[in-house]
């Protein structure tokens, strides 16, 4: 059973993410501790753990682990004993608009554990948008609320520095994983840029002279299977919202030879660019630096 269970919201859309405390009534705190304990059991039960490597997609019966994982600064020193020091999430109808994850802090067998869930706008319950049975009639909330996911995205144990997850993309949206990604070889880069979705003037621009940053992003793109699962139209249709100018020729994406443009395209393809819900500013989800 999870003890001293605390809940916090992960806020993105600023130069660095922020954790804000979600105050809980004692009864709800106890209920959520039981619920999340069950989710943890489901998450790890009968699962085979395999070391993280680029290009490998785990089966439903597998979990991926990274040993010696170093959390980002905003999460590194947080625990169930420090959560009460966080600022509470503000009241108001837009309080949850920039939440991208929920973090549960607790003690498990006297050891600290951090449980993570993804969060999207579909989890927000807005006044007048949802109906609840009140006696014989339906009513609505007067203040915003949220629903929580029924499954965990990742689990981090600080004492062992071990991160467990099943889906790279979902976890990478909450925690930076690119530093633990193997670099793509020249052959892998050649295969990616030779994909039917791309046209490029000279592949050797990237196979012969790619930095570590590019090689890791090519490996991430290869692993995501995005090019195989989405059409050129699907990929390009919303790119303008992220200030990415995708050029299309004969139903192919023109891969830029200019490294600045190529970097932005790879960030977009790997979903490493985040659009602030209120400010509409662009942010890099891994480095947490402003992108515009």
Distance CA 163, CA 161 (A): 7
Task: Count the neighbouring beta carbons within 10 Å of the beta carbon of residue 179.
Answer: 11
How high is the pLDDT of residue 68?
A: 94
The DSSP bridge partners found for residue 66 are 163
Separation in Å, CA 204 to CA 191, 201, 252? 12, 9, 19
How high is the pLDDT of residue 54?
A: 59
What are the extents of the domains in the chain? 3-179, 182-284
Tell me the two tokens of residue 234.
């699907």
Distance CA 216, CA 214 (A): 5
How high is the pLDDT of residue 219?
A: 87
Going across the sheet that includes 198-199, the strands are 198-199, 252-254, 248-249
How high is the pLDDT of residue 290?
A: 44
How high is the pLDDT of residue 280?
A: 63
Q: Which secondary structure element, helix H or strand E, spans residue 36, and what is its range?
A: helix 26-44
To which residue do tokens 């039981």 refer?
34
How high is the pLDDT of residue 56?
A: 67
Tell me the two tokens of residue 194.
């030779």
Contacts of 11 (CB under 8 A, 6+ apart): 17, 18, 19, 20, 98, 99, 100
How high is the pLDDT of residue 231?
A: 95
Contact between residue 5 and residue 33 where contact means Cβ atoms under 8 Å apart: yes
Tell me the two tokens of residue 142.
């007067």
First to last CA, the chain: 45
Task: Count the neighbouring beta carbons within 10 Å of the beta carbon of residue 41.
Answer: 9
Distance CA 22, CA 104 (A): 10
To which residue do tokens 């509470």 refer?
88
How high is the pLDDT of residue 14?
A: 62
The sign of the torsion formed by the CA atoms of 133, 136, 138, 142 equals: negative
Distance CA 68, CA 171 (A): 16
Q: Beta strand pairing status for 132-134 and 137-139? A: antiparallel
Per-residue pLDDT of the chain (292 residues; tens, 9 = 90+): 899 999 999 988 666 789 999 999 999 999 999 999 999 999 999 999 998 875 567 888 999 999 999 999 999 999 999 999 999 998 876 778 889 999 999 999 999 999 999 998 888 877 777 787 788 888 887 777 888 999 999 999 999 999 999 988 889 889 988 778 778 889 999 999 999 999 999 999 898 878 888 988 998 898 888 999 999 999 999 898 888 989 999 999 999 989 899 999 999 998 887 666 555 666 666 443 444 4
């Amino acid at each position: 059973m999870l003890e001293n269970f605390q809940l916090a919201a992960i806020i993105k859309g600023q130069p660095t993410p922020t954790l804000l405390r979600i105050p809980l009534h004692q009864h709800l705190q106890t209920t959520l501790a039981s619920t999340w304990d069950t989710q943890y059991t489901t998450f790890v039960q009968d699962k085979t753990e395999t070391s993280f490597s680029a290009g490998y997609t785990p089966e439903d019966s597998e979990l991926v682990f990274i040993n010696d994982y170093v959390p980002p600064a905003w999460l590194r020193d947080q625990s169930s004993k420090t959560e009460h020091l966080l600022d509470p999430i503000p009241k108001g109808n837009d309080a949850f608009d920039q939440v991208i994850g929920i973090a549960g802090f607790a003690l498990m067998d006297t050891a600290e554990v951090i449980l993570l869930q993804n969060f999207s706008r579909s989890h927000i319950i807005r006044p007048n948008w949802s109906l609840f049975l009140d006696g014989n009639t339906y009513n609505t909330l007067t203040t915003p609320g949220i629903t929580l996911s029924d499954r965990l995205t990742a689990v981090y144990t600080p004492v062992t520095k071990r991160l467990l997850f099943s889906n790279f993309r979902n976890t990478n949206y909450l925690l930076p994983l690119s530093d633990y990604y193997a670099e793509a070889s020249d052959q892998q880069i050649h295969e990616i840029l030779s994909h039917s979705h791309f046209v490029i003037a000279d592949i050797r621009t990237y196979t012969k002279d790619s930095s570590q940053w590019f090689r890791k992003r090519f490996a991430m793109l290869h692993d995501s299977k995005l090019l195989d699962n989405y059409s050129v139209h699907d990929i390009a249709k919303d790119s303008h919202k992220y200030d990415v100018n995708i050029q299309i020729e004969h139903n192919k994406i023109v891969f830029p030879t200019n490294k600045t443009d190529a970097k932005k395209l790879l960030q977009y393809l790997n979903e490493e660019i985040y659009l602030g819900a209120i400010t509409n500013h662009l942010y890099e989800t891994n480095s947490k630096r402003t992108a515009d």
